[in-house]
């Protein structure tokens, strides 16, 4: 396959569509290291309600942010569809919990829309823009912004976590 064709394919599908409480969001594929089923968690004292705790992801301790809680929604028991997206952020790795992962799509400029600021929690939600997908809107999340609560945990608060392989 030619280099230009490979680049064209990479540009064509650069966002992944995820669901939180029946609303569709997207994250940049380039920021996702892996999509995993929920792993064992260790609860930590914390200030931010969106943090579920920390987990051992491939020999690395990662904070886990629940997007439902971050968006002010009630918690929900994990289902077969619940996934964690392990994001690479400017702070480091973080797990982000979503209700479901759907598919990948293009962020083509003709599909992008601005999102109005609706309240004081706008920045905390981390919505960068909206994109048309079929006949609906999908809200693009800023990976660094949604991961930020996971890095409010101080290094001294991180416990020793049993490995997922033990």
Report the alpha-carbon distance of residue 106 to residue 50 in Å, rounded: 29
pLDDT in tens, the chain (166 residues): 445 444 444 455 689 999 999 999 999 999 999 999 999 999 877 768 889 999 999 999 999 999 999 988 998 999 999 999 999 999 899 999 999 999 998 877 566 666 656 656 555 567 887 888 888 888 899 999 888 887 765 445 444 444 444 4
* pTM of structure: 0.77
- Which CATH code is given to the segment(s) 3-157? 2.40.50.180
């Amino acid at each position: 396959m030619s280099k230009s064709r490979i680049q064209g394919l990479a540009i064509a599908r650069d966002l992944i569509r995820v669901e939180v409480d029946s609303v569709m969001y997207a994250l940049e594929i380039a920021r996702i290291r892996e999509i995993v089923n929920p792993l064992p968690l260790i609860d930590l004292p914390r200030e931010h309600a969106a943090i579920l705790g920390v987990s051992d992801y491939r020999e690395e301790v990662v904070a886990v942010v629940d997007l439902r809680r971050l968006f002010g929604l009630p918690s929900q028991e994990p289902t077969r569809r619940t996934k964690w997206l392990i994001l690479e952020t400017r702070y480091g790795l973080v797990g982000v919990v979503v209700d479901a992962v759907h598919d990948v799509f293009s962020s083509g400029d003709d599909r992008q829309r601005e999102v109005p600021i609706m309240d004081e929690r706008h920045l905390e939600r981390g919505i960068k823009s909206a994109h048309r997908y079929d006949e609906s809107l999908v809200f693009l999340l800023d990976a660094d912004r949604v991961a930020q609560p996971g890095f409010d945990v101080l290094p001294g608060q991180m416990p020793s976590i049993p490995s997922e392989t033990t």
